[in-house]
Amino acid sequence: MHASKLAVLLIVACQAVALLAKPAKPRERLTIKVGFLMVKNDPFLRAMLGYVTTAPAVDIALRRIDKERLLDYVDWNITWLFPQCDEALTSGNTGDLLRDYEVDVIMGLPCAKTAVISGASATYFNIPLISYAATWADFSDKSRFPTFARTVGSVSQMARALIKFLNFFQWNQIAVLYTDDKERRKCYNINNELQDQNAATSGKSLQFNYIYSIVKNITDEAMNDFLDQVALKARIIIACFDNDVDKRRFMLLAHDKEMTNNQYLYIMPDYAPKENAATIWNSTTLINNISDERDNDAREAFRAAMIVEWNTLREDDLADFKTEIPKLMRLPPYNCTTDCNWPDAHYGSTYSPYMHDAMYLYARALNKTLQQDPKQYRNGTKMRENCEMTFTGVSGEVIITKDGERLPNIRFEGFDANGMREHFGLIRTSQDENAVQMLELNNPYTLESVWTSRGGQKPLSVPVCGYAGDNCPVSFMHQYFALVVSVSTIFALLLILVAVLIVYNFYGRIQRKRLENSLWQIDNYELVQIDTAQSISSSEQSVKTTSTTHSLPSLFRKQTAKNGRWKFCYRRKELVAVRKHNISLQFNHDDEAEFRAMRALIHDNVNQFHGLSHDVTGNLSVWKALPRGSLRDVLEKKTISLDWFFKFSLIRDIFEGIDFLHNSALRVHGRLTSKSCLINDRWQVKLSDYGLSCIRNVEKLPSKDMLWTAPELFDQQPFLKPTPASDIYSFGILCSELITETEAYGIQKFDQNMTDDDIVYRVVKGERPPFRPIMNLSQNSDINPAILSLIQDCWAQDVKDRPSAKTVRQVFKGMKLGKNVNLMDHILNVMEKYAGSLEQEVAERTKALIEEQKKSDILLYRMLPRQVADKLKAGQAVAPELFEQVTIMFSDIVSFTRLAGLSSPLQVVNMLNELCTIFDGIIDEHDAYKVETIGDGYLCVSGLPNRNGTAHVRQIADMCLAFQRNVRSFRIAHLPDEQVQLRIGINTGSVVAGVIGLTMPRYCLFGDSVNTASRMESHGKAGMIHITSATNDYLTADYETETRGEIIIKGKGVMETYWLLSKKLNFSERQKSAV
């Protein structure tokens, strides 16, 4: 299928080239006369190259020529003559074509012996001669046949390919069986050329032990006679037959004589695969759908055969082409009837693809010649030279040399156990005098795998015991049997003794190994996990060890709660930190030796490794738990001030731990981070998470854990193999964390918004200068400049530029910090100074807290009544309360929607803010409480939460009159021509007040009096104060009111309401007004 697609693509490419190379159209059309010499009714040659099964290939070629527009101005005149393979008829028909039909080219020439006659005539008249089936080697002699070209390879190429094939597999003793049909003489020519080519080879690489020919009648007796004779002369046999039926007969006879075993190989050369060649052993496909019930024997026999043939397209790829031929044969101009009813006429012939390619080759050569000289198209020599080209034909890739010879690739194939062909390889020819260039095996075949179907055994030119089986070499055992028995006995006794010693020694080593490994191997049942929730919630919980009591480390509480990488466990009443590795490994001897070395490490600055616990889900590493967590935890919590002395002490502890590990059996820490630096209760750093190289090599780390990794280690992916120099790099990054009191690269993360992946990428990238943490220190910093220079040396990009441990130690010795003062004494001094300033700081902060509390109370009292807010602050519940008499007011801005539509959102907010500021100032002047503001509306009440008798009515009345007076003088800044008007409604009655909600508590009113007040507002008029009769009853003495009469109120029915107009002035107020 792939070959078919490739062929289509190459055809398209050739079409494109042809289009580009198309000559300019001449003024007059040109008629090209083509004469064909063919075999028509020969029953033996009909299916192979007969007229009925081959001629329409010319029409298919012409269709392709027209499609590619190679010769748009050419008309074709085709003449078919049928000299069969008769020499006299061929001579006469060739003359007819040249004399009577005046053809421009002669094509066809299926038979070698008659093609010579046509070739001589074509040479005399210098007429192009192109054959699709003549394989005779003499046609390669251009001194005799200068106008001859062909689209099929020559027999000499097949002979050289056979020699190359035999030499490749180192076979030099050969037998040959060939048939001779006296017509095309394919096998006869192959044998003769094989002898000639071998004789011409230096040293005659092949020796022909037996050559046998069968002429015309191929009988079983003749083939049996050959098999009987060759059994004593050769095992590598070249068997050439003219048809596949005879090949199958021969292989069955060999099978019956048990001559198809792994000693024999039958090489069957052929030019082109026949129909159903893939199942040559199947009688149904060969003998007119008649089975001889010996297909299984034939399939088994052909496993001893190899086919050597032209590398044409497979029959599957040629199916469409060969199926079209009989269809075209029944159409004009052929109109075939009787001849097309033969059983072998239903499919294109074996050589029909070569006929197509011959016609297409001529058209391409004609096109080239017409471009060079339009008058030279009948010049046979010129046309033959212009046949030099490469194109994709129906027969496969067609390569034609300047001599008109096709350079074929020759394939060799075998049969598998199911009888299917296996394409083992190709023998490629070169353009250097058509010499065989090379032989190559197809992937995945090798010199050994070619013989898989034969038990993996390549047949030999001469069997080990000779052809008759009577020349076997005498075995060593037969000559020296007694000596062999004696030596074998002694050797067996020595072997037994050595085996006993080995077993004893091995058993002893196993026992010692078990004893040593028991120190670091921890069973799961030894680890008793502490309840995580209880550990986190109980700040007072402690764990007692054999000598000290420690609080639970915050590091492991956090990690256990977050992701479970670490968990807290008891082991033999000792608190340990357990890290889970989500990989399960089988440890080898080197791994176990490392674990034993880790278990034996003892140092003040190295954390104790307890061992490993292994289960099906992974491995657990067990370490001693330290109470203060990691260095990362200390830096994040900032629970203690870290001065230079403190930082240097921690840095020195880290270095001492690194130096110890570098001089231990481990030679390296490997994964040094601020999380692996644990701190005990005496503020001493202990390095943890070291070793475990077998786990570290396969355990993937997130980017945040690789910020301390040296850049050269990233080149070793997927396995990071740390070195002492990479530990020095990590030490430098650690020191920068301590100096800046931030996480690794913390300043870049904050200032440049960088992620861990970004940082790792820039470190690995190897920028100039290298990307490293920024250490911004204040001018008052007491950090020793020498340590800053040391840090920069430690994280140098080049490993050679980093200081050794000895250099680091010398730098530390040069820093005089007072040798007689240890870290604990320094911490106590710091704590005393801190305690002295703590009291003053507490007082200042308490004072600030009180001020902030006052501000909060003011804000709260504006949101809730004071007594309600006080109760809520005290944590007391505020019960709902009934108030018998209060006065409620609702107000609303008339036409607010219109005004908002004339304003931007910001202008609306500014307008409302100015109005609310005025209204809130008026409310503060009266004994009233603003319940809520809803958009442009106000809800106020008087008489609660502080009861004021009947004064609530007058307070609300005065407040509303003040609202109206101020609104009349209010002007909108961005709408100066607009007048703001209020609609106010007032009612007096009973309500229930209470606090609703917890997140944002609200003091709310409930009762029908609230609804009535809202109805007064909604049924009122712009610039008027609408009141109920209950309110009016309290106002008649001191206020001017006017009855509105009875109106229908929604939800209330008919009510008598009033307008509050103004307040009556008393004597003093009238005097002031008069003045």
Integer Cα distance of 665 and 654 in angstroms: 18
Residue written as tokens 């027999």?
Answer: 155
Q: Report the pLDDT value the prediction gives residue 5, as an integer from 0 to 100.
A: 42
User: How do 971-972 and 677-679 pair as beta strands?
Assistant: unpaired
Residue 1026 class from Cβ within 10 Å (0-12 exposed, 13-18 middle, 19+ buried)? buried
Residues of the chain with CATH 3.40.50.2300: 2-153+319-403, 155-270+274-311+414-454
**Structure confidence at residue 225 (pLDDT):** 94
CA diameter of the chain: 161
877-1074: CATH, from 3.30.70.1230, 3.10.330.20, 3.40.50.11890, 3.30.565.10 = 3.30.70.1230
Distance CA(92)–CA(89), nearest Å, equals 5
Q: In the prediction, which pLDDT does 254 show?
A: 94
* Contacts for 14-23: CB closer than 8 Å, 24+ residues apart: 14/68, 14/391, 14/392, 15/67, 15/68, 18/68, 18/69, 18/70, 18/364, 18/367, 19/68, 19/69, 21/367, 21/368, 21/371, 22/69, 22/70, 22/72, 22/367, 23/367, 23/370, 23/371
How many whole angstroms separate alpha carbon 1019 and alpha carbon 986? 11
* Number of C-beta neighbours around residue 80 at 10 A: 16
CATH 1.10.510.10, the chain: domain bounds: 524-530+550-819
Is there a cis peptide before residue 865, judged by omega within 30 degrees of 0? Answer: no
Q: How many CB atoms lie within 10 A of CB 1015?
A: 21
Amino acid (1-letter code) at residue 248? R
Fold of 2-153+319-403: Rossmann fold (3.40.50)
Nearest one of 344, 245, 356, 286 to 41, comparing CA atoms: 344
Distances (CA, A) of 183 to 44, 87, 140, 853, 955: 10, 10, 20, 123, 137
What amino acid is encoded at 953 in this protein? V
Residue with tokens 């107000």: 891
524-530+550-819 CATH choice from 1.10.10.350, 1.10.510.10, 1.10.10.10, 3.40.50.720: 1.10.510.10
3-state helix, strand, coil in the chain (%, to 5): 45, 20, 35
Residue type, 317: D
Q: Does an H or E element contain 747, and which? A: helix 746-751
Query: 305 with 251: CB under 8 angstroms?
Result: yes
- Give pLDDT < 50 ranges for the chain: 1-26, 434, 532-556, 558-559, 561-563, 818-819, 1067, 1070-1071, 1073-1075
pLDDT of 817 reads 58
Tokens of 999: 């997140």
Cis peptide bond prior to 773, omega within 30° of 0: no
Taking the C-alpha atoms of residue 655 and residue 809, their distance in angstroms, rounded to an integer, is: 8
Q: How far apart are CA 539 and CA 70, in angstroms?
A: 96
Helix (H, G, I), strand (E, B) or coil at 141: coil
Residue extent(s) of CATH 3.30.70.1230 domains in the chain: 877-1074
Distance CA 381, CA 379 (A): 6
- Residue closest to 379 by CA, chosen among 126, 30, 98: 126
Cα–Cα distance list, 632 to 603, 709, 744, 765 (Å): 22, 16, 10, 27
Tokens 């109109």 correspond to 335
Question: Which residue's structure tokens are 């007096």?
Answer: 988
pLDDT reported for residue 550: 40
Cα gap 644→649, rounded to integer Å: 8
Say how many C-beta atoms besides its own lie within 10 A of residue 351's C-beta: 25
> H helices of 373-480, where?
380-385, 476-479
Q: Tell me how far apart the alpha carbons of residues 98 and 125 are, in angstroms, rounded to a whole number.
A: 8
- Spatial contact of 133 and 185, defined as CB atoms under 8 Å apart: no
- Distances in whole angstroms, Cα of residue 804 to Cα of each of 688, 723, 725: 22, 12, 8
Peptide bond into 905 cis (omega under 30): no
The fourth-level CATH superfamily of domain 155-270+274-311+414-454 is Response regulator (3.40.50.2300)
The residues pairing with 411 across neighbouring beta strands, listed in sequence order, are 309, 426
Measure the CA–CA gap between 38 and 111, rounded to whole angstroms: 9
Q: Provide the pLDDT for residue 382.
A: 95
Residue 848: which H helix or E strand, with range? Answer: helix 823-863
pTM of the model: 0.46
DSSP string, 618-637: EEEEEEE--TT-BHHHHHHH
Q: Give just the sign of the alpha carbon dihedral 814, 818, 821, 824.
A: negative
DSSP tag of 274: P
Between CA 287 and CA 971 the distance in angstroms is 116
Q: Per-residue b/e over 712-737, b at no fewer than 16 CB within 10 Å?
A: bbbeeeeebebbbbbbbbbbbbbbbb
Consecutive H or E run containing 189: helix 186-200
Q: Which of 1073, 1063, 1017 is nearest to 1036 (CA)?
A: 1063
Yes or no: say if 980 and 968 are a contact pair by the CB < 8 Å rule: no
Given its phi and psi angles, is residue 225 left (phi above 0), alpha (psi -120 to 50 degrees) or beta?
Answer: alpha
Helix or strand (DSSP H, E) at 862: helix 823-863
CA distance 298 to 302: 6
